[in-house]
Amino acid sequence: MDIYHEYCIVELEPRRAQEERLMHACQRIPPSPKRSSAQFLIQAAMAGLDRKSEKYLKHHVDKSNWTMDDHDIRFIVRLVYEGRCSGRWWENLPDKSLTGDLCTTAYRLLCWLRFTHKVSTASSPSNQQQRAVASEWYRQLTQARRQRLMPC
């Protein structure tokens, strides 16, 4: 949840806020910005894991000159790395053999999160149904983040 929360703050929430402002002003929501290929992001995440890159693993880093790619790679690297910590389900899996698969799965989760956080004004019945499901996931994820951040 902490990894997701950080990604929300730096990537998902700013984009959603911009889209909501445009929608409320009855302006067209532009397509999402062009991103690097899945292959590039997955390979870069694998390299970051192999090097144990502080840029992506350290909890507090200066992100002032970061690109969208840097944030995407950090999400993938941290999710895979922290998923291997003691007590996690994949902690005992061989490091090298499944790193690519784990990074690919983390990348797919990243794409799904981007989709659930996107505002849409699509009008076809199938698009409306997809957006309704995405909106429900967004609501649940937002609620989970709030509960996680509440002081005990």
For 57-73, the pLDDT digits (tens) are 998 899 989 999 999 99
Predicted TM-score of the model (pTM): 0.85
Q: How many angstroms separate the Cα of 99 from the Cα of each of 16, 25, 34, 83, 109?
A: 31, 44, 26, 11, 15
Assign residue 9 a region (left: φ > 0; alpha: ψ between -120 and 50; beta: otherwise): alpha
Q: Quick: pLDDT tens for 15-57.
A: 989 988 998 898 888 888 889 999 999 999 999 999 999 999 9
**Could you tell me the two tokens for 124?**
């076809």
Q: How many angstroms separate the Cα of 10 from the Cα of each of 13, 15, 74, 132?
A: 7, 9, 11, 24
**Could you tell me the two tokens for 83?**
């998923």
